[in-house]
Structure 1
Amino acid sequence: NQNKDEIPQLFAYSQLLLSINGHDGRYGTCGTPKKFWASWKEEDIPESRIEALKNTPLSSAQKDVLFVDRKPPARIWFEDWASRPLHVSGQDRLLIGLLSPQRLLDMTRYFTLVDRKAGKIVARYQQVFGIKRLLERIKSRRSDGGREGGVVWHTTGSGKSFTMVFLSRALILDDDLKQCRIIVVTDRKDLERQLSTTFSTGGELADKKDKEEALATSGRRLAQQIGHGQERIIFSLINKFHTATGYPECHND
Protein backbone atom coordinates (compact mmCIF):
# COMPACT_ATOMS: atom_id res chain seq x y z
CA ASN A 1 0.00 0.00 0.00
CA GLN A 2 3.04 2.32 0.26
CA ASN A 3 3.85 1.93 -3.45
CA LYS A 4 3.27 4.78 -5.90
CA ASP A 5 0.43 2.91 -7.62
CA GLU A 6 -1.37 2.39 -4.29
CA ILE A 7 -2.00 4.95 -1.50
CA PRO A 8 1.44 6.23 -0.37
CA GLN A 9 -0.11 9.49 0.90
CA LEU A 10 -1.71 7.50 3.73
CA PHE A 11 1.77 6.78 5.10
CA ALA A 12 3.27 10.28 4.73
CA TYR A 13 3.04 11.03 8.46
CA SER A 14 3.65 7.51 9.79
CA GLN A 15 6.84 7.13 11.81
CA LEU A 16 6.70 3.56 13.09
CA LEU A 17 5.09 0.62 11.28
CA LEU A 18 4.59 -2.81 12.87
CA SER A 19 4.00 -6.14 11.13
CA ILE A 20 2.47 -8.76 13.44
CA ASN A 21 0.92 -12.20 12.92
CA GLY A 22 -0.33 -13.22 16.37
CA HIS A 23 2.98 -14.72 17.45
CA ASP A 24 5.93 -12.85 15.94
CA GLY A 25 6.44 -9.20 15.07
CA ARG A 26 8.82 -6.88 13.25
CA TYR A 27 9.02 -3.13 12.79
CA GLY A 28 10.16 -0.62 10.21
CA THR A 29 9.01 2.70 8.78
CA CYS A 30 7.73 4.07 5.46
CA GLY A 31 9.53 2.44 2.54
CA THR A 32 11.71 0.13 4.65
CA PRO A 33 12.80 -2.78 2.39
CA LYS A 34 11.57 -6.19 3.52
CA LYS A 35 15.07 -7.41 4.50
CA PHE A 36 15.49 -4.50 6.93
CA TRP A 37 12.31 -5.05 8.94
CA ALA A 38 13.70 -5.89 12.37
CA SER A 39 12.73 -7.77 15.49
CA TRP A 40 12.97 -6.02 18.87
CA LYS A 41 15.10 -7.22 21.77
CA GLU A 42 14.37 -5.45 25.04
CA GLU A 43 17.24 -4.42 27.34
CA ASP A 44 15.53 -2.15 29.90
CA ILE A 45 12.28 -3.94 30.76
CA PRO A 46 12.90 -7.20 32.70
CA GLU A 47 11.43 -10.38 31.24
CA SER A 48 9.47 -10.87 34.48
CA ARG A 49 7.78 -7.48 33.92
CA ILE A 50 6.89 -8.39 30.32
CA GLU A 51 5.44 -11.71 31.50
CA ALA A 52 3.42 -9.94 34.21
CA LEU A 53 2.02 -7.46 31.67
CA LYS A 54 1.05 -10.29 29.30
CA ASN A 55 -0.81 -12.05 32.10
CA THR A 56 -2.55 -9.01 33.60
CA PRO A 57 -6.32 -9.73 33.43
CA LEU A 58 -8.53 -7.32 31.55
CA SER A 59 -11.38 -5.69 33.42
CA SER A 60 -14.98 -6.37 32.47
CA ALA A 61 -15.25 -2.83 31.11
CA GLN A 62 -12.22 -3.35 28.85
CA LYS A 63 -13.63 -6.62 27.54
CA ASP A 64 -17.00 -4.98 26.92
CA VAL A 65 -15.27 -2.46 24.64
CA LEU A 66 -13.18 -5.13 22.87
CA PHE A 67 -16.11 -7.44 22.13
CA VAL A 68 -18.94 -4.97 21.56
CA ASP A 69 -18.95 -5.65 17.78
CA ARG A 70 -18.11 -9.36 17.99
CA LYS A 71 -20.34 -12.39 18.33
CA PRO A 72 -20.67 -13.96 21.82
CA PRO A 73 -18.59 -17.09 21.00
CA ALA A 74 -15.52 -14.87 20.46
CA ARG A 75 -15.69 -13.62 24.04
CA ILE A 76 -16.27 -17.13 25.39
CA TRP A 77 -13.15 -18.32 23.51
CA PHE A 78 -11.12 -15.38 24.84
CA GLU A 79 -12.21 -15.98 28.45
CA ASP A 80 -11.09 -19.60 28.18
CA TRP A 81 -7.79 -18.70 26.48
CA ALA A 82 -6.92 -16.02 29.08
CA SER A 83 -7.79 -18.26 32.05
CA ARG A 84 -4.40 -20.04 31.95
CA PRO A 85 -0.81 -18.66 32.09
CA LEU A 86 0.10 -17.10 28.77
CA HIS A 87 3.49 -17.57 27.09
CA VAL A 88 5.37 -14.41 26.08
CA SER A 89 5.88 -14.23 22.31
CA GLY A 90 8.04 -12.09 20.04
CA GLN A 91 4.93 -10.08 19.22
CA ASP A 92 4.42 -9.30 22.92
CA ARG A 93 8.02 -8.13 23.28
CA LEU A 94 7.62 -5.88 20.24
CA LEU A 95 4.34 -4.34 21.45
CA ILE A 96 5.52 -3.84 25.04
CA GLY A 97 8.96 -2.60 23.95
CA LEU A 98 7.79 -0.05 21.38
CA LEU A 99 4.23 1.01 22.20
CA SER A 100 4.31 2.22 25.79
CA PRO A 101 3.57 5.97 25.45
CA GLN A 102 7.02 7.19 26.56
CA ARG A 103 8.93 4.70 24.41
CA LEU A 104 6.81 5.51 21.36
CA LEU A 105 7.45 9.24 21.82
CA ASP A 106 11.18 8.58 22.23
CA MET A 107 11.25 6.50 19.05
CA THR A 108 9.56 9.20 17.00
CA ARG A 109 11.54 12.12 18.47
CA TYR A 110 15.05 10.72 18.88
CA PHE A 111 15.24 7.58 16.76
CA THR A 112 13.52 8.40 13.47
CA LEU A 113 15.11 10.56 10.79
CA VAL A 114 14.52 11.43 7.15
CA ASP A 115 17.63 11.04 5.02
CA ARG A 116 17.63 12.72 1.60
CA LYS A 117 19.21 9.63 0.03
CA ALA A 118 17.92 6.68 2.07
CA GLY A 119 14.45 7.99 2.94
CA LYS A 120 12.86 7.58 6.36
CA ILE A 121 14.93 5.53 8.82
CA VAL A 122 14.09 4.19 12.27
CA ALA A 123 16.82 2.94 14.60
CA ARG A 124 17.43 -0.72 15.38
CA TYR A 125 17.20 -1.82 18.99
CA GLN A 126 21.03 -1.97 19.26
CA GLN A 127 21.24 1.70 18.25
CA VAL A 128 18.44 2.71 20.62
CA PHE A 129 19.93 1.09 23.71
CA GLY A 130 23.49 2.00 22.73
CA ILE A 131 22.55 5.68 22.57
CA LYS A 132 20.60 5.46 25.84
CA ARG A 133 23.73 4.08 27.55
CA LEU A 134 25.87 6.76 25.91
CA LEU A 135 23.64 9.55 27.24
CA GLU A 136 23.74 8.02 30.73
CA ARG A 137 27.55 7.83 30.57
CA ILE A 138 27.94 11.40 29.30
CA LYS A 139 25.70 12.76 32.08
CA SER A 140 27.64 10.91 34.79
CA ARG A 141 30.61 12.69 36.38
CA ARG A 142 33.37 11.50 38.66
CA SER A 143 34.11 13.20 41.97
CA ASP A 144 36.79 15.31 40.18
CA GLY A 145 34.18 16.54 37.65
CA GLY A 146 35.52 14.48 34.75
CA ARG A 147 33.65 11.97 32.62
CA GLU A 148 34.37 8.37 31.76
CA GLY A 149 34.84 7.28 28.14
CA GLY A 150 33.35 4.24 26.50
CA VAL A 151 33.19 2.03 23.42
CA VAL A 152 30.24 1.04 21.24
CA TRP A 153 31.33 -1.82 18.97
CA HIS A 154 30.00 -1.93 15.41
CA THR A 155 30.55 -4.52 12.71
CA THR A 156 30.71 -3.63 9.02
CA GLY A 157 27.34 -2.55 7.67
CA SER A 158 25.65 -2.34 11.07
CA GLY A 159 24.82 1.36 10.77
CA LYS A 160 27.58 3.19 12.66
CA SER A 161 27.10 6.34 10.55
CA PHE A 162 23.42 6.55 11.42
CA THR A 163 24.18 5.72 15.06
CA MET A 164 26.31 8.87 15.18
CA VAL A 165 23.59 10.95 13.54
CA PHE A 166 21.00 9.61 16.02
CA LEU A 167 23.42 10.35 18.89
CA SER A 168 24.09 13.92 17.77
CA ARG A 169 20.35 14.57 17.53
CA ALA A 170 19.73 13.03 20.97
CA LEU A 171 22.49 15.18 22.50
CA ILE A 172 21.15 18.41 21.01
CA LEU A 173 17.55 17.60 22.03
CA ASP A 174 18.54 16.73 25.62
CA ASP A 175 17.99 19.67 28.00
CA ASP A 176 21.07 18.80 30.05
CA LEU A 177 23.40 18.34 27.08
CA LYS A 178 22.08 20.62 24.34
CA GLN A 179 25.02 23.06 24.63
CA CYS A 180 27.39 20.28 23.54
CA ARG A 181 29.77 20.27 20.58
CA ILE A 182 30.74 17.07 18.79
CA ILE A 183 34.08 16.10 17.25
CA VAL A 184 34.05 13.04 14.99
CA VAL A 185 37.59 11.61 14.68
CA THR A 186 38.26 9.02 11.97
CA ASP A 187 41.37 7.29 10.62
CA ARG A 188 40.88 7.65 6.86
CA LYS A 189 39.55 10.17 4.36
CA ASP A 190 36.87 7.96 2.79
CA LEU A 191 35.30 7.32 6.20
CA GLU A 192 35.37 11.04 7.02
CA ARG A 193 33.70 11.75 3.68
CA GLN A 194 31.08 9.03 4.25
CA LEU A 195 30.22 10.26 7.76
CA SER A 196 30.05 13.95 6.85
CA THR A 197 27.78 13.09 3.89
CA THR A 198 25.47 11.03 6.16
CA PHE A 199 25.29 13.90 8.67
CA SER A 200 24.46 16.26 5.80
CA THR A 201 21.78 14.13 4.12
CA GLY A 202 20.34 13.24 7.55
CA GLY A 203 19.78 16.92 8.36
CA GLU A 204 22.40 17.44 11.10
CA LEU A 205 24.39 19.73 8.78
CA ALA A 206 22.12 22.31 7.22
CA ASP A 207 23.77 22.86 3.83
CA LYS A 208 26.98 22.60 1.78
CA LYS A 209 28.52 25.58 3.61
CA ASP A 210 27.79 23.93 6.96
CA LYS A 211 29.47 20.73 5.77
CA GLU A 212 32.58 22.59 4.53
CA GLU A 213 32.94 24.46 7.82
CA ALA A 214 32.61 21.22 9.78
CA LEU A 215 35.70 19.66 8.12
CA ALA A 216 39.03 20.38 9.85
CA THR A 217 41.44 21.16 6.98
CA SER A 218 44.56 21.16 9.18
CA GLY A 219 45.71 20.59 12.75
CA ARG A 220 45.91 24.34 13.41
CA ARG A 221 42.45 24.88 11.92
CA LEU A 222 41.07 22.15 14.22
CA ALA A 223 42.77 23.75 17.24
CA GLN A 224 41.08 27.06 16.37
CA GLN A 225 37.72 25.34 15.88
CA ILE A 226 37.99 23.68 19.28
CA GLY A 227 39.16 26.81 21.07
CA HIS A 228 37.11 29.56 19.43
CA GLY A 229 34.85 28.07 16.75
CA GLN A 230 31.07 27.95 16.78
CA GLU A 231 30.59 24.73 14.77
CA ARG A 232 28.34 22.24 16.55
CA ILE A 233 29.86 19.27 14.67
CA ILE A 234 33.50 18.94 13.53
CA PHE A 235 35.13 16.16 11.50
CA SER A 236 38.85 15.44 11.77
CA LEU A 237 41.36 12.79 10.77
CA ILE A 238 43.22 11.37 13.76
CA ASN A 239 46.61 12.78 12.69
CA LYS A 240 45.16 16.32 12.56
CA PHE A 241 43.62 15.76 15.99
CA HIS A 242 47.03 14.73 17.33
CA THR A 243 48.65 17.83 15.77
CA ALA A 244 45.93 20.14 17.10
CA THR A 245 46.58 19.15 20.72
CA GLY A 246 50.05 20.72 20.44
CA TYR A 247 48.70 24.24 19.83
CA PRO A 248 47.90 26.53 22.79
CA GLU A 249 44.59 27.61 21.22
CA CYS A 250 43.37 24.00 21.40
CA HIS A 251 41.68 24.60 24.75
CA ASN A 252 38.04 24.98 25.64
CA ASP A 253 36.70 25.19 29.19
Structure 2
Amino acid sequence: MPRPTARTIPQLFHFAQLLMLVSRTEALYATFGTARKFWQSWRDDEDSENDIALAANRLLAPAEKDAIFSGAFDSARRFFDDVQNGGERAVTEQHRLLYASWMGRGGMLQKISACQTTSRS
Protein backbone atom coordinates (compact mmCIF):
# COMPACT_ATOMS: atom_id res chain seq x y z
CA MET A 1 0.00 0.00 0.00
CA PRO A 2 1.45 3.42 -0.91
CA ARG A 3 2.34 5.77 1.89
CA PRO A 4 -0.20 8.65 2.39
CA THR A 5 1.04 12.06 1.27
CA ALA A 6 -0.24 15.63 1.40
CA ARG A 7 -1.47 15.09 -2.16
CA THR A 8 -3.30 11.79 -1.53
CA ILE A 9 -4.80 12.33 1.95
CA PRO A 10 -7.52 14.73 0.71
CA GLN A 11 -8.81 11.89 -1.47
CA LEU A 12 -9.91 10.14 1.74
CA PHE A 13 -12.50 12.90 2.17
CA HIS A 14 -13.55 13.05 -1.50
CA PHE A 15 -17.18 12.16 -0.74
CA ALA A 16 -17.50 14.08 2.55
CA GLN A 17 -19.95 16.95 2.36
CA LEU A 18 -19.76 18.14 5.95
CA LEU A 19 -16.84 17.77 8.31
CA MET A 20 -17.02 18.15 12.09
CA LEU A 21 -14.17 18.95 14.44
CA VAL A 22 -15.34 17.81 17.87
CA SER A 23 -13.66 17.83 21.26
CA ARG A 24 -15.00 18.42 24.76
CA THR A 25 -14.32 22.15 24.58
CA GLU A 26 -14.82 22.91 20.90
CA ALA A 27 -17.21 21.77 18.19
CA LEU A 28 -16.98 23.23 14.69
CA TYR A 29 -18.19 22.32 11.22
CA ALA A 30 -17.30 23.17 7.63
CA THR A 31 -17.36 21.73 4.15
CA PHE A 32 -14.29 19.94 2.83
CA GLY A 33 -11.53 22.34 1.80
CA THR A 34 -12.72 25.25 3.99
CA ALA A 35 -9.85 27.16 5.59
CA ARG A 36 -9.69 26.64 9.38
CA LYS A 37 -10.46 30.31 10.12
CA PHE A 38 -13.89 29.92 8.44
CA TRP A 39 -15.06 26.87 10.42
CA GLN A 40 -18.14 27.72 12.51
CA SER A 41 -19.85 26.50 15.64
CA TRP A 42 -23.26 25.00 15.00
CA ARG A 43 -26.01 26.41 17.18
CA ASP A 44 -29.73 25.99 16.97
CA ASP A 45 -31.71 28.46 19.05
CA GLU A 46 -34.60 26.00 19.27
CA ASP A 47 -32.54 23.36 21.11
CA SER A 48 -32.92 23.75 24.86
CA GLU A 49 -30.11 23.01 27.30
CA ASN A 50 -32.48 20.67 29.14
CA ASP A 51 -33.20 18.61 25.98
CA ILE A 52 -29.48 18.41 25.22
CA ALA A 53 -28.70 17.36 28.80
CA LEU A 54 -31.37 14.64 28.68
CA ALA A 55 -29.92 13.27 25.43
CA ALA A 56 -26.32 13.46 26.71
CA ASN A 57 -27.22 11.60 29.90
CA ARG A 58 -29.59 9.01 28.45
CA LEU A 59 -28.62 5.54 29.58
CA LEU A 60 -28.02 3.00 26.84
CA ALA A 61 -30.13 -0.15 26.87
CA PRO A 62 -28.16 -3.40 27.21
CA ALA A 63 -28.89 -4.27 23.56
CA GLU A 64 -27.52 -0.87 22.45
CA LYS A 65 -24.35 -1.42 24.48
CA ASP A 66 -23.93 -4.90 23.03
CA ALA A 67 -24.26 -3.51 19.49
CA ILE A 68 -21.84 -0.63 20.05
CA PHE A 69 -19.23 -2.35 22.19
CA SER A 70 -18.58 -5.51 20.22
CA GLY A 71 -15.68 -6.70 18.13
CA ALA A 72 -12.84 -4.18 18.00
CA PHE A 73 -14.72 -1.81 20.37
CA ASP A 74 -15.27 -4.40 23.12
CA SER A 75 -12.35 -3.04 25.17
CA ALA A 76 -13.93 0.44 25.32
CA ARG A 77 -17.06 -0.76 27.13
CA ARG A 78 -15.51 -0.60 30.60
CA PHE A 79 -14.45 3.04 30.09
CA PHE A 80 -17.96 4.07 29.01
CA ASP A 81 -19.56 2.09 31.83
CA ASP A 82 -17.35 4.05 34.25
CA VAL A 83 -18.39 7.35 32.61
CA GLN A 84 -22.06 6.38 32.87
CA ASN A 85 -21.67 5.35 36.51
CA GLY A 86 -19.90 8.63 37.32
CA GLY A 87 -23.14 10.59 37.48
CA GLU A 88 -24.73 13.24 35.33
CA ARG A 89 -22.50 14.86 32.72
CA ALA A 90 -22.48 18.62 32.16
CA VAL A 91 -23.43 19.74 28.65
CA THR A 92 -20.39 20.54 26.48
CA GLU A 93 -19.91 22.06 23.04
CA GLN A 94 -19.57 18.52 21.76
CA HIS A 95 -23.06 17.66 23.05
CA ARG A 96 -24.54 20.84 21.55
CA LEU A 97 -23.12 20.18 18.08
CA LEU A 98 -24.07 16.51 18.01
CA TYR A 99 -27.56 17.24 19.31
CA ALA A 100 -28.15 20.09 16.83
CA SER A 101 -26.81 18.15 13.87
CA TRP A 102 -28.62 14.87 14.60
CA MET A 103 -31.50 15.26 17.03
CA GLY A 104 -32.55 18.91 16.96
CA ARG A 105 -35.27 20.38 14.75
CA GLY A 106 -32.89 20.88 11.85
CA GLY A 107 -30.95 17.69 12.52
CA MET A 108 -30.36 14.68 10.33
CA LEU A 109 -32.80 12.41 12.20
CA GLN A 110 -35.59 14.91 11.54
CA LYS A 111 -34.64 15.05 7.85
CA ILE A 112 -34.45 11.25 7.54
CA SER A 113 -37.84 10.93 9.22
CA ALA A 114 -39.33 13.52 6.88
CA CYS A 115 -37.91 11.70 3.84
CA GLN A 116 -39.35 8.38 5.02
CA THR A 117 -42.76 9.96 5.58
CA THR A 118 -42.68 11.55 2.12
CA SER A 119 -41.62 8.32 0.40
CA ARG A 120 -44.53 6.42 2.00
CA SER A 121 -47.08 8.91 0.68
Please say whether Structure 1 and Structure 2 have the same fold, judged by a TM-score greater than 0.5.
Answer: yes
Q: In structure 2, do the counterparts of structure 1 residues 70 and 51 end up closer, same or farther at CA, with 3 Å as the change threshold? A: same
RMSD, matched Cα: 2.7
1:4 Cα shift? 6.6
Question: What residue in structure 2 maps to residue 8 of structure 1?
Answer: 10
**Sequence identity, in percent?**
34
Equivalent residue pairs, number: 104
Q: Is the contact made by 2:103 and 2:110 (CA closer than 8 Å) also made in structure 1?
A: no
1:15 Cα shift? 1.6
Q: Aligned to 1:27, what secondary structure does the other structure show? A: strand
The answer to whether 1:91 aligns with 2:80 is: no
Which residues of 2 match residues 38-117 of structure 1 at below 5 A?
A: 38-68=40-70, 69-72=72-75, 74-83=76-85, 84-100=87-103, 103-104=107-108
Q: Aligned to 1:18, what secondary structure does the other structure show? A: strand
Deviations 1:17-46 (A, max 9, x none): 101124421110111101011112220111
1:106 Cα shift? 8.7
Question: What residue in structure 1 maps to residue 119 of structure 2?
Answer: none
Q: Aligned to 1:13, what secondary structure does the other structure show? A: coil
- Counterpart CA distance in 1 for 2:110 and 2:9 is 27
Unaligned runs of 5+ in 1: 108-253
Q: Greater Rg, structure 1 or structure 2? A: 1
1:52 Cα shift? 0.6
* AA of the residue aligned to 1:12: H
* AA of the residue aligned to 1:94: L
Which residues of 2 match residues 129-168 of structure 1 at below 5 A?
A: none
Q: Is the contact made by 2:21 and 2:29 (CA closer than 8 Å) also made in structure 1?
A: yes
Unaligned runs of 5+ in 2: 112-121
Residue of structure 2 aligned with 1:35, choices 34, 37, 45: 37
Query: Relative contact order: is structure 1 or structure 2 higher (C-alpha 8 Å, sep ≥ 6)?
Result: 2
- Counterpart CA distance in 2 for 1:105 and 1:79 is 26
1:71 Cα shift? 4.8
Q: Aligned to 2:20, what secondary structure does the other structure show? A: strand
TM-score (norm 2): 0.71
Structure 1 residue runs of 4 or more that deviate by more than 4 Å after TM superposition? none
